[in-house]
Structure 1
Protein backbone atom coordinates (compact mmCIF):
# COMPACT_ATOMS: atom_id res chain seq x y z
CA UNK A 1 0.00 0.00 0.00
CA UNK A 2 2.85 2.36 0.75
CA UNK A 3 4.38 1.50 -2.55
CA UNK A 4 1.23 2.33 -4.42
CA UNK A 5 0.94 5.65 -2.62
CA UNK A 6 4.60 6.44 -3.38
CA UNK A 7 4.11 5.51 -7.02
CA UNK A 8 1.16 7.86 -7.27
CA UNK A 9 2.79 10.72 -5.28
CA UNK A 10 6.44 10.38 -6.20
CA UNK A 11 6.60 13.92 -7.46
CA UNK A 12 5.25 15.33 -4.19
CA UNK A 13 7.62 13.18 -2.14
CA UNK A 14 10.55 14.21 -4.29
CA UNK A 15 9.49 17.85 -3.99
CA UNK A 16 9.20 17.52 -0.21
CA UNK A 17 12.65 15.88 0.05
CA UNK A 18 14.14 18.60 -2.15
CA UNK A 19 12.60 21.37 -0.01
CA UNK A 20 13.79 19.63 3.17
CA UNK A 21 17.33 19.35 1.78
CA UNK A 22 17.34 23.03 0.74
CA UNK A 23 16.08 24.10 4.18
CA UNK A 24 18.66 21.87 5.92
CA UNK A 25 21.53 23.15 3.79
CA UNK A 26 20.31 26.75 4.17
CA UNK A 27 20.18 26.40 7.95
CA UNK A 28 23.66 24.86 8.03
CA UNK A 29 25.02 27.58 5.71
CA UNK A 30 23.45 30.29 7.87
CA UNK A 31 24.94 28.74 11.01
CA UNK A 32 28.44 28.49 9.54
CA UNK A 33 28.17 31.97 8.01
CA UNK A 34 27.35 33.40 11.45
CA UNK A 35 30.32 31.54 12.95
CA UNK A 36 32.56 32.87 10.17
CA UNK A 37 31.41 36.44 10.89
CA UNK A 38 32.14 35.94 14.61
CA UNK A 39 35.58 34.60 13.76
CA UNK A 40 36.24 37.60 11.49
CA UNK A 41 35.22 39.97 14.29
CA UNK A 42 37.59 38.17 16.68
CA UNK A 43 40.40 38.39 14.13
CA UNK A 44 39.71 42.08 13.61
CA UNK A 45 39.70 42.74 17.37
CA UNK A 46 42.93 40.75 17.76
CA UNK A 47 44.60 42.74 14.96
CA UNK A 48 43.54 46.02 16.58
CA UNK A 49 44.87 44.84 19.95
CA UNK A 50 48.12 43.80 18.26
CA UNK A 51 48.50 47.20 16.57
CA UNK A 52 47.83 48.93 19.88
CA UNK A 53 50.37 46.74 21.69
CA UNK A 54 52.94 47.35 18.95
CA UNK A 55 52.34 51.09 19.18
CA UNK A 56 52.76 51.04 22.96
CA UNK A 57 55.91 48.94 22.67
CA UNK A 58 57.30 51.30 20.01
CA UNK A 59 56.59 54.33 22.19
CA UNK A 60 58.20 52.60 25.17
CA UNK A 61 61.30 51.77 23.15
CA UNK A 62 61.49 55.36 21.94
CA UNK A 63 61.20 56.68 25.50
CA UNK A 64 63.84 54.28 26.82
CA UNK A 65 66.17 55.20 23.96
CA UNK A 66 65.63 58.88 24.70
CA UNK A 67 66.38 58.37 28.40
CA UNK A 68 69.48 56.39 27.51
CA UNK A 69 70.63 59.15 25.16
CA UNK A 70 70.06 61.79 27.84
CA UNK A 71 71.92 59.70 30.41
CA UNK A 72 74.82 59.13 28.01
CA UNK A 73 74.99 62.84 27.18
CA UNK A 74 75.01 63.73 30.89
CA UNK A 75 77.69 61.11 31.55
CA UNK A 76 79.79 62.37 28.64
CA UNK A 77 79.43 65.99 29.79
CA UNK A 78 80.42 65.02 33.34
CA UNK A 79 83.43 63.09 32.03
CA UNK A 80 84.45 66.02 29.84
CA UNK A 81 84.14 68.44 32.78
CA UNK A 82 86.24 66.16 34.99
CA UNK A 83 88.89 65.82 32.28
CA UNK A 84 88.98 69.58 31.75
CA UNK A 85 89.25 70.13 35.51
CA UNK A 86 92.17 67.72 35.73
CA UNK A 87 93.91 69.53 32.85
CA UNK A 88 93.40 72.87 34.57
CA UNK A 89 94.80 71.53 37.83
CA UNK A 90 97.91 70.28 36.05
CA UNK A 91 98.28 73.59 34.19
CA UNK A 92 97.86 75.64 37.37
CA UNK A 93 100.36 73.49 39.27
CA UNK A 94 102.89 73.81 36.46
CA UNK A 95 102.33 77.57 36.24
CA UNK A 96 102.81 78.27 39.94
CA UNK A 97 105.47 75.71 40.71
CA UNK A 98 108.28 78.27 40.29
CA UNK A 99 106.41 81.03 42.12
CA UNK A 100 107.69 81.63 45.65
CA UNK A 101 104.24 82.76 46.91
CA UNK A 102 102.73 79.44 45.87
CA UNK A 103 104.88 77.63 48.42
CA UNK A 104 103.04 79.37 51.28
CA UNK A 105 99.82 77.75 52.52
CA UNK A 106 96.50 79.51 51.98
CA UNK A 107 95.13 80.93 55.25
CA UNK A 108 92.42 78.75 56.81
CA UNK A 109 89.75 81.49 56.81
CA UNK A 110 90.30 82.13 53.08
CA UNK A 111 90.10 78.40 52.30
CA UNK A 112 86.88 78.09 54.38
CA UNK A 113 85.37 81.08 52.61
CA UNK A 114 86.15 79.52 49.23
CA UNK A 115 84.63 76.18 50.31
CA UNK A 116 81.41 77.91 51.48
CA UNK A 117 81.20 79.82 48.23
CA UNK A 118 81.67 76.56 46.29
CA UNK A 119 78.89 74.87 48.31
CA UNK A 120 76.52 77.79 47.63
CA UNK A 121 77.18 77.56 43.91
CA UNK A 122 76.64 73.78 43.90
CA UNK A 123 73.41 73.99 45.91
CA UNK A 124 72.11 76.76 43.64
CA UNK A 125 72.85 74.67 40.55
CA UNK A 126 70.35 72.06 41.74
CA UNK A 127 67.55 74.15 40.26
CA UNK A 128 67.57 75.88 36.91
CA UNK A 129 67.03 79.33 38.41
CA UNK A 130 67.47 80.02 42.09
CA UNK A 131 66.75 83.73 41.90
CA UNK A 132 70.16 84.44 43.43
CA UNK A 133 73.48 85.27 41.88
CA UNK A 134 76.37 82.92 42.40
CA UNK A 135 78.46 85.61 44.13
Structure 2
Protein backbone atom coordinates (compact mmCIF):
# COMPACT_ATOMS: atom_id res chain seq x y z
CA UNK A 1 0.00 0.00 0.00
CA UNK A 2 1.32 3.41 -0.94
CA UNK A 3 1.47 6.10 1.72
CA UNK A 4 1.73 9.85 1.22
CA UNK A 5 3.05 12.53 3.52
CA UNK A 6 0.24 14.86 4.54
CA UNK A 7 2.62 17.81 4.85
CA UNK A 8 3.04 18.27 1.09
CA UNK A 9 -0.31 19.32 -0.36
CA UNK A 10 1.04 19.57 -3.92
CA UNK A 11 2.14 15.94 -3.84
CA UNK A 12 -1.31 14.88 -2.66
CA UNK A 13 -2.95 16.81 -5.52
CA UNK A 14 -0.61 15.22 -8.06
CA UNK A 15 -1.42 11.73 -6.76
CA UNK A 16 -5.15 12.50 -6.80
CA UNK A 17 -4.90 13.70 -10.42
CA UNK A 18 -3.15 10.44 -11.38
CA UNK A 19 -6.04 8.47 -9.93
CA UNK A 20 -8.63 10.66 -11.67
CA UNK A 21 -7.06 9.88 -15.04
CA UNK A 22 -6.65 6.18 -14.36
CA UNK A 23 -4.00 3.87 -15.71
CA UNK A 24 -3.88 2.15 -19.07
CA UNK A 25 -3.34 -1.59 -19.28
CA UNK A 26 -0.57 -2.54 -21.68
CA UNK A 27 -1.69 -4.47 -24.79
CA UNK A 28 -1.07 -7.89 -23.26
CA UNK A 29 -2.91 -7.00 -20.02
CA UNK A 30 -5.80 -5.41 -21.92
CA UNK A 31 -6.28 -8.55 -24.02
CA UNK A 32 -6.23 -10.71 -20.89
CA UNK A 33 -8.81 -8.50 -19.16
CA UNK A 34 -10.93 -8.26 -22.34
CA UNK A 35 -11.10 -12.07 -22.61
CA UNK A 36 -12.30 -12.26 -19.02
CA UNK A 37 -14.72 -9.37 -19.67
CA UNK A 38 -16.21 -11.33 -22.58
CA UNK A 39 -16.77 -14.21 -20.15
CA UNK A 40 -18.53 -11.86 -17.71
CA UNK A 41 -15.68 -11.84 -15.19
CA UNK A 42 -15.15 -8.06 -15.14
CA UNK A 43 -17.06 -5.46 -13.15
CA UNK A 44 -16.71 -1.77 -13.99
CA UNK A 45 -17.76 1.19 -11.87
CA UNK A 46 -16.93 4.90 -12.19
CA UNK A 47 -14.16 5.85 -9.77
CA UNK A 48 -15.98 9.03 -8.72
CA UNK A 49 -19.42 9.43 -10.28
CA UNK A 50 -19.89 12.85 -8.64
CA UNK A 51 -16.77 14.38 -10.22
CA UNK A 52 -17.32 15.26 -13.89
CA UNK A 53 -13.55 15.57 -14.46
CA UNK A 54 -12.85 12.04 -13.23
CA UNK A 55 -12.85 9.69 -16.23
CA UNK A 56 -11.30 6.69 -14.47
CA UNK A 57 -13.14 3.49 -13.59
CA UNK A 58 -12.69 0.87 -10.94
CA UNK A 59 -12.35 -2.53 -12.56
CA UNK A 60 -12.58 -5.78 -10.62
CA UNK A 61 -11.29 -8.82 -12.49
CA UNK A 62 -12.82 -12.02 -11.12
CA UNK A 63 -11.27 -15.46 -11.44
CA UNK A 64 -12.52 -17.49 -14.41
CA UNK A 65 -13.92 -21.01 -14.20
CA UNK A 66 -11.37 -23.82 -14.22
CA UNK A 67 -12.02 -24.79 -17.83
CA UNK A 68 -11.65 -21.22 -19.09
CA UNK A 69 -8.54 -20.68 -16.95
CA UNK A 70 -6.97 -23.81 -18.43
CA UNK A 71 -7.24 -22.46 -21.97
CA UNK A 72 -6.79 -18.73 -21.33
CA UNK A 73 -3.94 -18.98 -18.80
CA UNK A 74 -4.82 -15.61 -17.21
CA UNK A 75 -2.24 -13.56 -15.33
CA UNK A 76 -2.55 -14.09 -11.58
CA UNK A 77 -1.57 -10.44 -10.97
CA UNK A 78 -4.69 -9.23 -12.80
CA UNK A 79 -7.30 -11.51 -11.26
CA UNK A 80 -8.92 -10.97 -7.91
CA UNK A 81 -7.81 -7.35 -7.75
CA UNK A 82 -9.26 -3.89 -8.23
CA UNK A 83 -7.64 -1.77 -10.93
CA UNK A 84 -8.08 1.91 -11.72
CA UNK A 85 -8.50 2.07 -15.50
CA UNK A 86 -8.63 5.11 -17.74
CA UNK A 87 -11.94 6.03 -19.37
CA UNK A 88 -11.04 5.02 -22.94
CA UNK A 89 -10.04 1.49 -22.01
CA UNK A 90 -13.01 1.18 -19.64
CA UNK A 91 -15.38 2.14 -22.49
CA UNK A 92 -13.76 -0.45 -24.76
CA UNK A 93 -14.03 -3.10 -22.03
CA UNK A 94 -17.70 -2.22 -21.51
CA UNK A 95 -18.28 -2.92 -25.22
CA UNK A 96 -16.50 -6.27 -24.86
CA UNK A 97 -18.73 -7.13 -21.88
CA UNK A 98 -21.83 -6.30 -23.93
CA UNK A 99 -20.58 -8.30 -26.91
CA UNK A 100 -19.85 -11.28 -24.66
CA UNK A 101 -23.33 -11.17 -23.14
CA UNK A 102 -24.95 -11.06 -26.59
CA UNK A 103 -22.83 -13.89 -27.99
CA UNK A 104 -23.24 -16.11 -24.93
CA UNK A 105 -27.00 -15.48 -24.93
CA UNK A 106 -27.16 -16.52 -28.60
CA UNK A 107 -25.17 -19.65 -27.78
CA UNK A 108 -27.55 -20.56 -24.95
CA UNK A 109 -30.57 -19.89 -27.17
CA UNK A 110 -29.14 -22.17 -29.86
CA UNK A 111 -28.35 -24.82 -27.25
CA UNK A 112 -31.89 -24.59 -25.89
CA UNK A 113 -33.34 -25.28 -29.33
CA UNK A 114 -30.95 -28.07 -30.27
CA UNK A 115 -32.40 -31.58 -30.35
CA UNK A 116 -29.76 -34.10 -29.31
CA UNK A 117 -32.08 -37.09 -29.03
CA UNK A 118 -33.26 -37.27 -32.62
CA UNK A 119 -29.78 -36.47 -33.87
CA UNK A 120 -28.35 -39.50 -32.09
CA UNK A 121 -31.13 -42.07 -32.11
CA UNK A 122 -32.87 -41.44 -35.41
CA UNK A 123 -29.80 -40.86 -37.52
CA UNK A 124 -30.77 -40.95 -41.14
CA UNK A 125 -28.62 -39.25 -43.65
CA UNK A 126 -30.12 -36.15 -45.18
CA UNK A 127 -30.19 -35.68 -48.97
CA UNK A 128 -26.89 -33.79 -48.89
CA UNK A 129 -25.18 -36.62 -46.93
CA UNK A 130 -24.86 -34.80 -43.62
CA UNK A 131 -26.21 -36.31 -40.39
CA UNK A 132 -29.62 -35.00 -39.29
CA UNK A 133 -29.66 -32.11 -36.86
CA UNK A 134 -26.55 -30.49 -38.35
CA UNK A 135 -27.88 -27.84 -40.65
TM-score (normalised: structure 1): 0.30
Question: Higher RCO, 1 or 2 (CA under 8 Å, sep at least 6)?
Answer: 2
Between Structure 1 and Structure 2, which shows a larger proportion of strand residues?
Answer: 2
Q: Which has the higher helix share?
A: 1
